[in-house]
Amino acid sequence: MPEEHETLWDWIKPLLAALIGTGLILGGLFLYTGNWPPMSVVSSDSMQHSSTVADFGVLNIGDVVLVKKVTSASQVTTYVAGQESGFSSYGEFGNVIIYNSHDINQHPYLVPPVIHRAILYLQYNASGGGYDVPSLLQLPFSQWYVVGPAAQSHDIYNVKGNIIIKDVGYPGTPVYIPISNFVGKANYSGFITMGDHNHAFWGENATDQSVGINPLPVKLQWIVGIAEGYLPYVGLIKLELTPHSIPSGQAPAANSVYALVLILTAIVAVPLASELVLYIRGERRDREQGKKKSD
């Protein structure tokens, strides 16, 4: 009986150690991010910088990021602010945020969170009904303008006309921000957001607010958190096990799949190879000791 108990405990010990280790890691991530779950998987190609290749350092289908909770708009660096300060993440200026889209209440289980870049912050002007956009002054006048009822301008207070920002993102194309669509409908401050790869599909009408992903500015309360860190490829396992998690017509880049296969192969092969090396060394040591005794 004691031998059976020892054998059983020998099996339980590594399992228990693994569970405790996993719990400590997840608990630490929760304390750091303030969110549960503390991680999110990129499920579409809207943040990629290529339609066919997963570039390292940017967000691709199957990548995993930490989701750090935010409690104020000042914690989010937009593309416009990042361009002036030099702050960038995942290959472009500004923070990438994870937010619940406008119809999450109607379809809470069918609408996954959106992982897109914060481009610009609009401050609602309660007295005038438009939006103040002081951060635009961080850009040269040659890079942006407001299209008003009569002409172009560089107004930043109580803006009701649409904004054009030139040379945005890795394609260097203009981005159109339809502020006139928000007037009277979004009486609050919020973020304009966009996937890095949206340019490829919609050109200057690339923001989430232009294409209907989220037709109104993103409220602070809708933001789940800021994307931090980067664990490439491994989220493909979750996406593969979750039906319809990847939008129709999209697929992981081939090099992401190859990289994941290599990672999984290494996870299996390295411990086996280590065990084999230890076994061979043990056998050699036993033979040498046996030879010495016989001599």
With beta carbons less than 8 A apart as the criterion, state whether 153 and 134 touch.
no
> In this structure, are 59 and 137 located in the same domain?
yes
Q: Does one domain contain both 200 and 275?
A: no
Residues 223, 274 share a domain: no
Q: Encode pLDDT of 30-73 as tens digits.
A: 888 888 889 999 999 999 998 889 999 999 999 999 999 999 99
Say yes or no: 223 and 77 in one domain: yes
Same domain, 196 and 285: no
Rg (C-alpha) for the chain, rounded Å, is: 26
Q: How confident is the model over 260-283, as pLDDT tens digits? A: 999 888 888 877 877 778 778 877
**Is the separation of the CB atoms in 59 and 227 below 8 Å?**
yes
Predicted local distance difference test score (pLDDT) of residue 17: 80
Quick check: 109 pLDDT over 70? no
- Residue 55 is given by DSSP the state -
Instruction: Give the type of residue at 78.
Output: T
Verify that 94 and 201 share a domain, yes or no.
yes
Reduced to 3 states (helix: H, G, I; strand: E, B; else coil), residue 225 is strand
Q: pLDDT grade, residue 291 (50/70/90)?
A: low
Q: Kindly state the tokens that stand for 125.
A: 């002007």
Query: Whose structure tokens read 């054998």?
Result: 7
pLDDT at position 171: 87
DSSP 104-119: TTTSTTTSPPEEEEEE
User: Per-residue confidence at 294, pLDDT binned at 50, 70, 90?
Assistant: low
What's the structural domain count of the chain? 3
In this structure, the answer to whether residues 21 and 160 fall within a common structural domain is no
Quick one: 3 and 45 in the same domain?
Answer: no
pLDDT at 281: 80
Q: Are residues 101 and 218 in the same domain?
A: yes
Strand partners, 104: none
> By the 8 A CB rule, do 26 and 38 touch?
yes
Give the whole-angstrom CA distance, residue 79 versus residue 87: 9
Q: Flag whether pLDDT at 106 surpasses 60.
A: no
Could you give the C-alpha distances from 91 to 43, 69, 230, 247, in angstroms and in order? 18, 21, 12, 23
Tell me what pLDDT residue 134 has. 95
Neighbouring CB atoms inside 10 A of 118's CB total: 25
CB half-sphere exposure, 42, CA atoms < 13 A: 36
Tokens of 253: 């880049």
CB 193 within 8 A of CB 168: no
| pLDDT score at 6 | 58
Q: What are phi and psi of 164, to 5 degrees?
A: -115, 125
Mean pLDDT of 101-115: 65
Instruction: Give Cα 193 to chain centroid, integer Å.
Output: 13
Which range among 77-81, 117-121, 198-202 shows the weakest confidence by mean pLDDT? 198-202
Do residues 57 and 24 both lie within one domain? no
pLDDT tens digits for range 8-33: 776 777 778 878 888 888 888 888 88
Between 150 and 55, residue with greater pLDDT: 55
- Structural domain of 2: 1-33
In this structure, the answer to whether residues 7 and 147 fall within a common structural domain is no
pLDDT exceeding 90 applies to what percent of the chain?
A: 57
* pTM attached to this predicted model: 0.85
Average pLDDT score over the chain: 87
Say whether both 89 and 222 belong to one domain: yes
| CA–CA gap between residue 159 and residue 192 (Å, rounded) | 14
